[in-house]
Chain A
């Protein structure tokens, strides 16, 4: 659903993964090439579902878009040193998890300027680092860590297998008893007792 904010500006409702909705200006949304490709021409009937991303992330992404509405058209990546104070604050106040969520959302929404700034920021983090230093920064697991992880996973798999086998066994037993109807159960017991009685009488 769209809600007119003014005669010249349209607002769109965005739906997040939590099912919450919030509105974003058309001008901000138009910075998303994904939006332009999907909704700009056909319009949106109801909230636009960006349900792979949570509300906080989407709000952060569109906060950036709202801010850069009046900036000149994007013409390639800008060096971090040329970023405004607002831009720097925008990036600095995010923790790593939020930053990663914002890059992923920005990448999905295809917001060139934001994606490019985020990527340049990561590149800057790695600038001047050699291979060993990069391995540490990009947290690649070492061979020992991989081996330990594999052992833990093997143990977990073995334990899960045991539990599954035990559960299957119990289920089988219960199933044999539960499957017989009451009358049949009575008849079976009666037959057993009769056989026992007959065997006694023969003796």
Chain B
């Protein structure tokens, strides 16, 4: 408890003297009491506004409560005080209406200035399309041939307390967003299903991802580093498992990274076509299928394939997984509109879809013995 106490004392004494509490809490400080200062010009402005507001509120509170506590001490019946009879004073009422109003104007002006700066998304150096879906983020670099999904990287074994939790528990992803430092990055933010909210506290950027609409936000990060945030709008069962991780790199480093990604994504597409000719064995399909299922499907259909009755349908023993193979492939590829079933054509490769469909048709006692190959998936995807 000692560090907490020391921090609290330090914080209170600084606040009381009206000085800004300039110390930035270190990453993951368990006794962080205050808003993060952040790493952008905007986040610093926001922090200053926060401290201004906080300071004014503390002064008001001290004055009001001070008068109240003095009164509670002095004007007690037990001290033999006889009550005064004064009441109603127009002058006083006007004073305590007008003075707060003037204070408000003092707050409103800097707030409006910062707000105008935050909403100015013009003249960006680059644009990233951010798309939320249950429960992952998708990043698409609008000026480059790079796009990918970003999923929680914390293993289930940590969440269910079977293994010790890592340093960045719930704040780590498989593929972070990478942006260059010193450039104005514009974010276009939208959603494929429910409303999510993309939030990085260090940038003071929080913007809702609304399905069917596109919101704009921007940041300019000058300090290279790893910045972590979370989805901030309740988006269903795994809302708490949808972190945002952004890495800011020096422009040269960023350029090298994005070029490498472009090449890798091009090669992957070519490889996918090449693999169409190859068939996988049942063991390979099941092993790959289980991996894909746990990463992409188990959140809703549950690891045991039983779903959540009334919310997410079971696959174990379901007609979808036992009967018509093309319909099964189709729903995985294209999703089902009007339900939470997403389209996985962009999220998974053809061979991954083949593997996961095979897995679903043979796991948990479904035992159809049927195998699906990448070519079968490609046929449905291309409408053959």
Tell me if chain B binds chain A.
Answer: no
Which A residues have a C-beta under 8 Å from some C-beta of B? none
